[in-house]
C-alpha cells in the first residue's frame, strides 16, 4: 500500500522510442543539472595528476601555432595575407584546437562511462555533449593569451570580433556532430579510438591554420575547401584579425555542413542507442 507521502514522489516513465523522429531532446532540458555535473567533472579530471596541470590549456594551441608558423611560413614560405605570421597561426590554432579537442573528448564518452550507460537511466546524449563546456573554457583561456600577443604585434581587433561567438559556435557544432557519431560507433567498433587521433593530425595539415589559401591556385583551393573546417577556420580568423582572406562560398558550405552533420548525428545516436547496453 502506497502512503500519501510516497505518492507525491516524482515518477520517471521509461519507454521505447515511438518512431525514427523521436529523439528525446526534451529530456536534455529536464536533466540539465546532470549535464552540468558531467561537464564540470570532465574539467576537474582532465589534467588531474599531470605535472603542468591546466597550463596544457594554453600550451596545446601555442605549440600548434609554433609548429604551423615554422612549417608553413618559415620553411614553405606560404602567405599569411600580410598579417604577422605567428598571430595568424595562433588565431587559426585556437579555432582548430576547439574542434579537435572537443571531438576527441566527445568521441570517448560512452566507452569511458560504460558502467553508467549499461546500468543507470538518463538521457545518454548528455555524455557526448558535455565536453562543450570545457571547450568553451579552453577557448576563453587561449583568447586571453592571444589578445595581448595581437596588440604587441600591432594587430588591432576590428568590429568583426563581435561575430566571433558565431564562428566558435559553428566549429563546436561540427565537432559535436562528429563526436556524437563517433562515440556511438565506438561502442561497437573500438578501432575508432585509434583512427580519431590519426585523422585529426592529418586534418591539421590540410586545414589553413598557419597559411592562407589566397595564394594557391583555383584547383588547389577547390580541393582544400572540400574540408568543411577550412571555411569555418577562415571565418573564425577573419573575425579576430579582420583583414584575412575569406572564401564566403566555402564559409557557407562549412556552416551548412556543420548543421547537417549535427542533425545526422542525432539520428545515428537514436538508431544505435537501444543497442548500447548489450554491446558496451
pLDDT tens-digit series, residues 146-189: 888 898 888 888 888 899 999 999 999 999 999 999 999 998 98
What nine digits make up the cell of 219? 584547383
What nine digits make up the cell of 198? 590519426
120-140: average pLDDT: 86
Half-sphere exposure of 4 (CA within 13 A, CB side): 0
Question: For residues 159 and 145, what is the distance between their CA atoms, to the nearest angstrom?
Answer: 19
Q: What is the model's pLDDT at position 173?
A: 95
Please give the share of the chain, as a percent, with pLDDT higher than 90.
28
Q: Are 244 and 238 in contact (CB under 8 A)?
A: yes
- Going by pLDDT thresholds of 50, 70 and 90, the confidence category of residue 20 is very low
Helical ranges in 120-247 per DSSP H: 126-129, 131-152, 164-186, 192-206, 218-224, 228-241
Query: pTM for this one?
Result: 0.84
* 60 sits in which H/E element: helix 56-68
Q: Are 251 and 231 in contact (CB under 8 A)?
A: yes
Long-range contacts of 201-206 (CB under 8 A, 24+ apart): 203/100, 203/227, 203/229, 204/64, 204/96, 204/100, 206/230
Amino acid at each position: 500500500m502506497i502512503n500519501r507521502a510516497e505518492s507525491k514522489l516524482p515518477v520517471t516513465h521509461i519507454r521505447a522510442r515511438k518512431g525514427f523522429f523521436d529523439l528525446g531532446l526534451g529530456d536534455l532540458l529536464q536533466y540539465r543539472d546532470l549535464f552540468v555535473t558531467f561537464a564540470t567533472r570532465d574539467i576537474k579530471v582532465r589534467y588531474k595528476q599531470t605535472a603542468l596541470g591546466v597550463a596544457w590549456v594554453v600550451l596545446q594551441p601555442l605549440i600548434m601555432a609554433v609548429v604551423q608558423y615554422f612549417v608553413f611560413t618559415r620553411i614553405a614560405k606560404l602567405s599569411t595575407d600580410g598579417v604577422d605570421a605567428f598571430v595568424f597561426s595562433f588565431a587559426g590554432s585556437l579555432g582548430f584546437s576547439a574542434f579537435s579537442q572537443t571531438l576527441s573528448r566527445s568521441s570517448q564518452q560512452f566507452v569511458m562511462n560504460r558502467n553508467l550507460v549499461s546500468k543507470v537511466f538518463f538521457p545518454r546524449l548528455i555524455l557526448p555533449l558535455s565536453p562543450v563546456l570545457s571547450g568553451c573554457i579552453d577557448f576563453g583561456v587561449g583568447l586571453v593569451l592571444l589578445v595581448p600577443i595581437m596588440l604587441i604585434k600591432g594587430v588591432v581587433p576590428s568590429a568583426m570580433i563581435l561575430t566571433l561567438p558565431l564562428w566558435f559556435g559553428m566549429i563546436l557544432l561540427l565537432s559535436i556532430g562528429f563526436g556524437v557519431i563517433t562515440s556511438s560507433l565506438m561502442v561497437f567498433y573500438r578501432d575508432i579510438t585509434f583512427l580519431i587521433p590519426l585523422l585529426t593530425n592529418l586534418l591539421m595539415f590540410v586545414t589553413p591554420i598557419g597559411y592562407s589559401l589566397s595564394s594557391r591556385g583555383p584547383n588547389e583551393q577547390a580541393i582544400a575547401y572540400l574540408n568543411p573546417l577550412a571555411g569555418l577556420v577562415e571565418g573564425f580568423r577573419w573575425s579576430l584579425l579582420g583583414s584575412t582572406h575569406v572564401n564566403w562560398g566555402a564559409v557557407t558550405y562549412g556552416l551548412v555542413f556543420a548543421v547537417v552533420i549535427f542533425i545526422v548525428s542525432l539520428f545515428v545516436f537514436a538508431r544505435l542507442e537501444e543497442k548500447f547496453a548489450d554491446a558496451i
